């Protein structure tokens, strides 16, 4: 039975999609899992060499995504945190695992490490939502769209259900906004489990 590590995942969404396909799937995060299942609560760097066949990693995007990088000039401590976050991504990409996918929003990974191999959207996988997600792949093919959802048109521009008419994300500020924004859409997780099998 192939073993997969879902790095930096507390939701269990991707882990459970692979478990349902017969994988020995483990999520790993500093936080406890939100759903019952095989979970390792620790720094994922401690388990990278534990004989995994595949890893899908979701490194925290706070200091990597374009929407937050403008703060680095105003808050010098953030620039240091961006460098630390980039080093974490490098270690994930360099893990001794044959098949790796690292996902993150559009940001500095593409300019500081290497361009993404693919950018996917939830609306390509059955969700009425827009959230550009970059994939850096090693030993894995690009994902194929499974079900296209058409956008509504507002003032000549495409908008999905998670967007305001101006294009902003509808999810307002809150203490758990970061956690809600970081969740993988189930349609994308299902496509990974269905298409990245061997």
Which pLDDT band, with edges at 50, 70 and 90, does 180 fall under?
A: very low
Residues 88 and 109: beta-carbon distance below 8 Å: no
The residue with tokens 């939701």 is 11
- In degrees, rounded to 5, the angle at the alpha carbon of residue 141 between the alpha carbons of residues 108 and 103 is 30
Which pLDDT band, with edges at 50, 70 and 90, does 174 fall under?
A: low
Domain-by-domain residue ranges, the chain? 3-148+182-195
Residues 97 and 137: beta-carbon distance below 8 Å: no
Query: What's the mean pLDDT in 148-158?
Result: 90
Q: What is the pLDDT of residue 140?
A: 98
Which pLDDT band, with edges at 50, 70 and 90, does 68 fall under?
A: low
**Higher pLDDT pick, 2 / 164:** 2
- Fold classified for 3-148+182-195: Rossmann fold (3.40.50)
Q: Residue 3 and residue 14: Cα distance in Å, rounded? A: 13
Q: What is the pLDDT of residue 122?
A: 96
């Amino acid at each position: 039975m192939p073993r997969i590590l879902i790095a930096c995942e507390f939701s269990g969404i991707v882990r459970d999609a692979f478990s349902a396909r017969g994988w020995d799937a483990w999520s790993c995060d500093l936080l406890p899992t939100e759903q019952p299942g095989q979970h390792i609560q620790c720094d994922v760097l401690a388990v990278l060499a534990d004989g995994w066949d595949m890893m899908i990693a979701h490194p925290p995007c706070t200091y990597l995504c374009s929407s937050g990088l403008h703060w680095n000039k105003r808050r010098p401590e953030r620039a240091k945190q961006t460098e630390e976050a980039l080093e974490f991504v490098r270690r994930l990409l360099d893990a001794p695992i044959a098949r790796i996918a690292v996902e993150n929003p559009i940001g500095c990974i593409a300019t500081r490490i290497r361009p993404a191999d693919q950018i996917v959207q939830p609306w390509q996988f059955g969700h009425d939502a827009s959230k550009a997600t970059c994939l850096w792949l090693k030993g894995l093919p690009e994902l194929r769209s499974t079900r296209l959802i058409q956008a509504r048109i507002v003032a000549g521009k495409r908008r999905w259900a998670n967007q305001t008419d101006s294009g902003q994300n509808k999810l307002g500020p809150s203490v758990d906004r970061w956690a809600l924004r970081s969740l993988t859409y189930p349609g994308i997780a299902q496509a990974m489990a269905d298409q990245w099998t061997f």
